[in-house]
Amino acid sequence: MHSMARSAATDALAAALIDVRGVSFAYGSTPVVEDVDLTVAPREFVALVGPNGSGKSTLLRVILGALTPTRGSVRLLGRVPAELRDRWRLGYVPQRPTLAPDVPATVREIVTAGRLARSGWWRRLRDVDEQAVSHAMESVDLAELADEPVRKLSGGQQQRAFIARAFASEPELLVLDEPIAGIDAESQRRFRDSLVHLIRSHGAGVLLVSHELSAVSDVIDRVVVLKRTVQFDGPPERLVQEGVSLGVHPEDLPLWLEGLR
């Protein structure tokens, strides 16, 4: 029985979309992340939280392959991050995506670019591709602005366009860095519903880095609290039972760190 359990655990790790083991990173002699383990499996929704300076951004860059860990190992979709070739399998929305001010691209064109990354830039869009693009724009409440130049949109609307671009490729893994900052409540609801659809209908895994979890608190599987090391990794219910709110904190999530040792 124990060997079967070990085998199941090994299979689960082998299938992990993100598999971080014993990762540390330092800038010079200053440690930023120390001995971190983190996994995200298919159909799993994991939130990564912590105060400014906790190492979240650094850990994210290590996971995505922009930084090489000082110690430990990272597997992204089963590969060393630098060796991942089918990049469409990973949907990534940075904290402040930017578009050159003179680029005339419309919302539809930005979102379509996400789909073409999957289907191939040389291919004509098929009906299924058009449907995915339309669904992605609707999911962030931008369908009515589909033909508007992105540069004319507000910052929050631009953020939603880049979220839709990530949705359009129907990725196996979606990584989102503070995606709903400045987004209104209705758009947050649509965002939540789209994540649920991506997870349940497409089997995707989601890693969400955010200070604001109230919009998605009912669908998160695990919350990982980082303050250089992992302070907590478990279901959100355990935090709520301890009196920790999953909503907005005016002073940079102070309660995430109290009593979590």
pTM of the model: 0.83
Q: How many CA atoms lie within 13 A of 147 on its CB side?
A: 0
Could you give the CA distance from residue 103 to residue 215 in angstroms, rounded to a whole number? 32
> Is residue 9 pLDDT above 50, yes or no?
no
Could you give the CA distance from residue 204 to residue 195 in angstroms, rounded to a whole number? 9
3-state SS assignment for residue 15:
coil
The per-residue pLDDT for range 95-138, each reduced to its tens digit, is 766 666 666 789 999 999 888 877 666 677 788 889 999 989 98
The per-residue pLDDT for range 231-250, each reduced to its tens digit, is 899 998 887 777 676 664 54
Q: Could you give the domains of the chain?
A: 16-256 (3.40.50.300)
- 30 burial type by CB count under 10 A (0-12 exposed, 13-18 middle, 19+ buried): exposed
Radius of gyration of the chain, Cα coordinates, nearest whole angstrom:
19
Handedness of CA 155, 158, 162, 168 (dihedral sign): positive
